[in-house]
A and B are shown apart, each in its own frame.
Chain A
Amino acid sequence: MAGIKRRTLNWIDERLGGGGSIEEFLRHKKVPLHRHTAWYYFGGIALFLFVVQVLTGILLLMYYRPTASGAFESVQFIVTQVKFGWLIRSIHSWSANLMILIVFIHMFSVYFMKAYRKPRELTWVSGMVLFFIVLAFGFSGYLLPWNTLAFFATKVGTDMAGFVPFIGPWIRVFLRGGNEVTGATLTRFFGFHVAVLPGLATLLLALHLLLVQRLGMSVPPGVEKRIKEGKERERSMPFFPNFLLRDIMGWYGALGVLGALAAIFPWELGTKANPFASAPAGIHPEWYFLFMFQTLKYLPSKVFFIDGELLGLMLFGLAGALWVIVPFLDYKAGFGRTTRFFTGLGIFALGYIIVLSGLALF
């Protein structure tokens, strides 16, 4: 058995330019072991869920119609007529939400472990761009079933985009494909969702993974310090097969959770969107935008001379920008010096998101 494995690897290796790079990679890639190792799994789970989305998305593409007159009916068709269509559709919807949750966790765990410090700044930046791409996937995909909730959530969301100073109205028209949310918006969002965003995501994912492979796994500063001081032994486990098998367990677990959610809480069809009806009461965006939505609700309509919504948008924009360049702000971490400030900032951000989302829900 081992012989076949070795011979296959050699065959591939020769055709990739030789040098035994694959076998070396498989043998020598190591994962650090310490009390925070569990967080390392979340990146892999996010990747797994992305693959699930691509596969179920391709299956849905075979029956979906991106027009105002056909979208709702085609989703209805998938869910009622196509064999296991209900399963594919519900998995796609649940996996989208689960993936966003996982990337939030992955991002915050990387932040708190300060894995963004030198030399991994670009990994963090590419990861943040991926994060925004995933949110864009969520926002664009949400409209595609063309039901009432999705229609009005999109209306509110694209209205917000219009508040960006100077270029806001142009952004809104660009997103909507017109002045209002119509079938043109749907087709446009479909284009983003199945072509533009997957292309961008693939490129950035390739970069992100390449960087992770080349730079290896970062060890949290606290653990590093203790190892240096001799208080802890430096331990690791081989990526292949030990970490990988555990990774796969995590993926199976995620799969089980997805299947259970799809069967026990099937994603609803809703009612077909009517652009001329008035918005139902209590319209709100999906949960991952709730904290921003709730913040805007609390801001007064005018703060000094600035429009409340504009102020909120600018604040979030600023916060997001700062978050992206945090490796360059917290450069001290690159020298092993941990500043409580950034940890505190992270706790504040996480707490803020959780508390405001909670307030929006109840």
Chain B
Amino acid sequence: MKRSLTTRSRIRGCAIGVAIMLWGLSFASAAPPKNSCISCHSQLPGQYGQPAKLFSADVHQQAGLSCADCHGGDRNDDSMNAMSPAKGFRGAPAKAQVPAFCGRCHSNPSYMRKFNPSLRTDQVSEYLTSVHGKRLKQGDTKVAVCVDCHSVHDIRAPSDTRAPVYPTHVAETCARCHADANYMKGYKIPTNQYALYKKSVHAADLAGGDTSAPTCTTCHGNHGATPPGVNSVASVCGTCHVMNQQLFEKSPHGAAFAKMGLPGCVQCHSNHEIVKPEDSWVGTDPKAVCVTCHVEGDNGYKTAQAIAGGIDKLKATYHKADDVLNKAEQSGMEVSSARVELTSAHSDLIKARVAVHSFNAADVLKITNQGVATSRQAQAAGIAALHERDYRRKGLAISLIAIVIALSGLYLKIRKMEQS
């Protein structure tokens, strides 16, 4: 029976509507593109399932990449064929092949530009200049490769606080090998660097939240990790400690250390266990650093004595002035101008400690003498304030005289009155 025109067009309309609906629905339910690797491997136990479970945290996954983009194969194929060499499957790389494996993309600027144009693409070439890279080429598979530091399958960006290469985690990551005495057996390098570093002022700064504080990679490089040579130590420290480096290189020690092959700053300040320096390091006490080389009578010894003397004198006068001003303030005298003056003496003390690195007594003493003069002035102001407080007794004497006159007047008046 032929259906009427209206009924036919209605059926047609419904069919089109349903088709459109189904087409739209297919989008809603199929949001992520097919990844057969994950769908199978996430159901496998142990090491076969781990990567799939970790991958959701990975920065590559967030960029839209899949297992196949590194390992090859076909992500749309649900069968075991997905992993056939015909489909380009590369499998898991051997340790020695890892840099090249990662470098396939990360050393390709045109490819990387599609994801993050400001990311560097020279990591592998840097790595090949590092101690790790060179040894890897010689066949040593115990050295670190990309995945040892950056993790694998759950790689996070270095700016992610959970990444093993986030500044506060770098030292632990390096220490995984370098602090393991068993693992490092056979290499002739110490394994106490991490323990020493943890005692340092740099580690404390980093733990305190200053992510610009140095960690292993700051001085040793990250991809091109190599300890700085003896002659470049001062330059490395000098990237932050500019003034100390400049003074040091112009000082007698600069040339002398270079000639003797001594490692610059490290000679006095150590390399990993860099602690807060004490004023007692400078001078001629048995515990001071200077006397490890200098002996009584030589120029260095005399300079050390003079420098230490200058700093000690400044400290003593500063503290004396500070004490006097404290006393005056607590007893209620106005000494804020003297306080402000004293802050420049404090600055002089700080500057003198930097100036030590010139190893020139005259330069240091110029600063400390200025500080001493300022401290003495501030102390004088404090003493004057204390005197002013005491001087008020004299003002009191005048009113006391008046009171005594009144009292004697009263006494005599009473006597006179009662005599009659």
Contacts and interface: CB of A to CB of B under 8 A. Distances in A.
Contacts, number: 63
Given A245-B414, A249-B410, A271-B330, A255 B389 contact: no
Contact of A268 (B331, B334, B396): B331
Contacts of A271: 330
B399 A259 contact: yes
A65 B309 CA distance: 48
Contacts of A246: 410, 414
Nearest to B392: A263
Interface string B383-420: 00000010011011001100110110011011001100
Q: Which DSSP category, helix, strand, loop or mixed, fits chain A's interface? A: helix
B332 interface: yes
A267 to B, nearest CB: 8
B329 interface: yes
Interface stretch (A79-87, A176-184, A313-321): A79-87
Interface string A83-108: 00011010000000000000000000
Contacts of B131: none
Nearest to A237: B418
B333 interface: yes
A1 interface: no
Contacts of A241: 417
Interface string B301-342: 000000000000000000000000000011111100000000
A259 B396 contact: yes
Nearest to A243: B414
Nearest to A75: B332
Contact of A269 (B329, B411, B414): B329
Interface residues of B, number: 23
Nearest to B406: A252
A261 to B, nearest CB: 10
Interface in B350-401: 389, 392-393, 395-396, 399-400
Contacts of B411: 249
A249 B392 CA distance: 25
Interface of B is mostly: helix
Interface residues of A, number: 28
A266 B389 contact: yes
Given A248-B410, A249-B411, A266-B389, A260 B400 contact: yes
A271 B326 CA distance: 10
Contacts of A263: 392-393, 395-396
A270 B330 contact: yes
Interface of A: 76, 79-81, 86-87, 89, 241-242, 245-246, 248-249, 252-253, 255-256, 259-260, 262-264, 266-271
Interface of B: 329-334, 389, 392-393, 395-396, 399-400, 403-404, 406-407, 410-411, 413-414, 417-418
18 contacts: A80-B334, A86-B389, A241-B417, A242-B418, A246-B414, A248-B410, A249-B411, A252-B406, A256-B403, A256-B404, A256-B407, A259-B396, A259-B400, A260-B400, A263-B393, A267-B332, A268-B332, A269-B331
Given A242-B418, A249-B410, 17 more contacts: A79-B332, A80-B332, A86-B332, A89-B332, A245-B413, A245-B414, A245-B417, A246-B410, A248-B410, A249-B411, A263-B393, A264-B393, A264-B396, A266-B392, A267-B332, A269-B331, A269-B332
